[in-house]
Structure 1
Amino acid sequence: MTETPPPRRARAEIDLGALRANVRTLRARVAPHVQVMAVVKADAYGHGALRCARAALEAGATWIGTATPHEALALRAAGITDARILCWLWTPGDPWAEGIEAGLDMTVSGMWALREVVQAARETGKSARIQLKADTGLGRNGCQPADWPALVGEALKAQKDGLVTVTGLWSHFACADEPGHPSIASQLDVFRSMLDYAEKAGVEPEVRHIANSPATLTLPETHFDLVRPGIAMYGVSPSPEVGTPADFGLRPVMSLIGSVALVKEVPAGHGVSYGHHYVTPSETTLGLIPLGYADGVPRHASGRGPVLVGGRIRRVAGRVAMDQFVVDLGGDAVEPGAEAVLFGPGDRGEPTAEDWAQAADTIAYEIVTRIGARVPRVYVNE
């Protein structure tokens, strides 16, 4: 049931019905044997990790993915106990022992990490579930092909000693959002080669995976045993040049809505906001929107960011400030308290996160993820 949220300075409305539908759409794009990992890192791209993880599991995901172990441990503590959770961004001294006790699948990309997880296994007296990550060409986390034999060999020794179980082998694409990019085929070849080496050496992984959101949507040959949709789960296109969310059968999950705090008449030639980068060309009305870069509204979108107010698209007039920005209402009479919709699915003519991404010269991933904690999340269709 949808509940009408109370009036607020601002809210990020999270449509869990849309999220569940997106997960089902993604599930339908892969073969029946391929599992779906719902990636909820960075507080589910700003949408709320716990609520989104639960909704994704209800819709058919069987794994949860986080970046840091602390994100994963928080989900376990909050009651996500019936799903596998993979976390991949570890640093020396991180809570390996707690990860073992919580039953996490923990990524190992180098020898230092293997040494730390083995030591934690000895201390806890329990075997650690680990996944070995290969750097197939992205150049970030992951083990280089030249170092892969040594890492695989040491992991197998630790497994023989009962200290670890190697549950997965995986990697990540650099340019899957650019169909036809030569790095895609190159990375896939390297990944297959590294899989082949590990499996011939004796690794029997439960899952092999490399497909992120764009690969899940457009590269079926990359699906292996599991896919890891992140941004697509939230109804944002990972490849706007290829297709809109609707083209992929997805619906945006987040809407960012503010209330007009003040409306006033000003004369022609009136400066607006810091630096007077906008000066009113004629007598007009200005509307004050109580959201700013402290809330995640990108300052780079000053003068360009679109907002639906009073049934029309307005543009940010002048600079976005820390807590507020102004729109020129062009003389329209808008009452204080009226809705100002920064972005949403677009059904009502409102801008989308992609529109804001273009206005700020960034990607829609950043637009939704950067919405700050000062903006309450209101969940609908829960």
Structure 2
Amino acid sequence: MTVISSPLPTRDIDRVRPFATLTVDHEAIMHNVCLVRAIAGVPVLAVVKADGFGLGMTAVARSALRGGAVALGVATVDEALRLRAAGISARILAWLADAQCDLDAAIRLGVELGCSTGPLLETIVARARTLGLTARVHLELDTGLSRGGADRADWAGLCRSAAAHEHFGALRVVGVWSHLARANEAHPLATAGAIETLTEAAVTAASAGLTPEVVHLASSGAALAHPGARFSLVRCGQALFGVQPVDGEQYDLRPVLRLTSRVVQLRRVPAGTAVSYGGGYRTEAETTLALVPIGYADGIPRLAGDRAEVLLRGRRCRVVGRVSMDQLVVDAGPVDSEVADGDEVVVIGDPARGEPGLGEWAQWAHTIPQEIMTGIGSRVERRHLGAARVA
């Protein structure tokens, strides 16, 4: 066996570049938080779950707070604990919890827990009593999503039980909340029923003796388009990242991410050339094919092959053939085009600059922008521009 003992050469950072780079604009994050806050007229909870929608949870959280968010929202207890470990002391709500989560750490560190069942409430109270601390809880009601949340028939009993535990100090209900099923629809009827139901639920909670600090229903779409859903707090997720959250409506939200790669090989081919696996695509004329080292392992939807476009030398160029795990092929145009090895390829960027946007990629892949964002792979290098340095 031959063992290589010599040290690896020093990386030349001016010469070596990753195949793909995701650039996150933190000034845009702060702008978007400010915009939602100004339109909604109530405080904003910034949703930074799923590693900040794939962009880097801690950095995104800090910028959202700097932009005016008063709290952070995550899906899991583990995500909340990661934010605390990073030194972030702001208010955090984790809405998915059960008896097998690290409830002790969450309670010790002041993480607020979503709760919608009697058994979970009893478990949280038991852990809080053992620790000699008061657990902070948001009671969740199902208002039509049929996902999480208490059934309406169980709501009054859940509130009474919570109030009894509050009396002995093991629990504090700091929030009453729900999640909309149709926040992306602009018509008022899309949210009217849920608004009425949560309004009644808040009255029931008060009748049981609860005095929550916040009542919240609106996610991004409702925060911008449904005034009645705003209550005392709105949750800003997709709008935080510049994704337009209401069908048919445009707000002054700034794109936050830019995904780029580069050309690593050019091939001039005649008309009728089969491209990529299966050979289902054939060139219509003599053209130049550009190989781009980014694929479905990096978050490029395989389904977008033959439909998606990228920006190359200021021109929209079509992705042709099937997207592979590590690469895709672009029709770069006539054989006399000026495309060269090493040219930047803008995969996702700012539509205002002619670059393909998240919304377009979602259409090409028959999905939503959030799935595109959260699917961007770990080997894509993240760069943070203007990242906040304060918790």
TM-score calculated relative to the size of structure 2: 0.92
Query: The residue matched to 2:165 in structure 1 has which SS?
Result: helix
2:289 aligned residue: 286
Q: 1:300 aligns with which of 282, 299, 303?
A: 303
C-alpha separation in 2, matches of 1:24 and 1:181: 24
Shift of 1:165: 0.5
Query: The residue matched to 2:185 in structure 1 has which SS?
Result: coil
In the alignment, residue 186 of structure 1 is paired with which amino acid? G
2:85 aligned residue: 77
Q: Does 1:251 align with 2:254?
A: yes
C-alpha separation in 1, matches of 2:199 and 2:137: 19
2:273 aligned residue: 270
C-alpha separation in 2, matches of 1:202 and 1:349: 56
Q: 2:19 aligns with which of 6, 9, 20?
A: 9
Query: The residue matched to 2:355 in structure 1 has which SS?
Result: coil
CA contact (8 A) 2:191 2:226 kept: no
2:44 aligned residue: 36
1:58 aligned residue: 66
Shift of 1:184: 1.1
Shift of 1:269: 2.1
Q: 2:138 aligns with which of 127, 131, 154?
A: 131
2:241 aligned residue: 234
C-alpha separation in 2, matches of 1:376 and 1:110: 41
C-alpha separation in 2, matches of 1:208 and 1:358: 34
1:311 aligned residue: 314
TM-score calculated relative to the size of structure 1: 0.94
CA contact (8 A) 1:64 1:85 kept: yes
C-alpha separation in 2, matches of 1:35 and 1:5: 45
In the alignment, residue 148 of structure 1 is paired with which amino acid? W
Distance 1:84 1:70, change over 3 A: same
Shift of 1:209: 0.5
In the alignment, residue 54 of structure 1 is paired with which amino acid? R
In the alignment, residue 341 of structure 2 is paired with which amino acid? P
- Size of the aligned set, in residue pairs, is 372
Q: Does 1:168 align with 2:153?
A: no
Q: 2:115 aligns with which of 105, 108, 111?
A: 108
C-alpha separation in 1, matches of 2:233 and 2:261: 39
1:93 aligned residue: 100
2:128 aligned residue: 121
CA contact (8 A) 1:96 1:120 kept: yes
Deviates more, 1:248-257 or 1:342-351: 342-351
C-alpha separation in 2, matches of 1:333 and 1:277: 27
CA contact (8 A) 1:5 1:378 kept: no
Distance 1:13 1:23, change over 3 A: same
Query: The residue matched to 1:224 in structure 2 has which SS?
Result: coil
Query: The residue matched to 1:118 in structure 2 has which SS?
Result: helix
C-alpha separation in 2, matches of 1:35 and 1:142: 23
Shift of 1:337: 1.2
C-alpha separation in 1, matches of 2:186 and 2:40: 18
Q: 2:31 aligns with which of 15, 18, 21?
A: 21
Structure number with greater Rg is: 2
Shift of 1:282: 2.5
> For structure 1, which runs of at least 5 residues remain unmatched after alignment?
none
Aligned structure 1 segments of 4 or more residues deviating by more than 6 angstroms: none
Query: The residue matched to 2:339 in structure 1 has which SS?
Result: coil
In the alignment, residue 292 of structure 2 is paired with which amino acid? I
Shift of 1:7: 3.4
In the alignment, residue 172 of structure 2 is paired with which amino acid? T
C-alpha separation in 1, matches of 2:125 and 2:54: 34
C-alpha separation in 2, matches of 1:183 and 1:278: 42
Shift of 1:333: 3.4
C-alpha separation in 1, matches of 2:99 and 2:299: 31
Distance 1:186 1:319, change over 3 A: same
> For structure 2, which runs of at least 5 residues remain unmatched after alignment?
1-13
Distance 1:5 1:372, change over 3 A: farther
2:7 aligned residue: none
C-alpha separation in 2, matches of 1:24 and 1:109: 31
In the alignment, residue 333 of structure 1 is paired with which amino acid? E
C-alpha separation in 1, matches of 2:127 and 2:262: 51
C-alpha separation in 2, matches of 1:236 and 1:375: 21
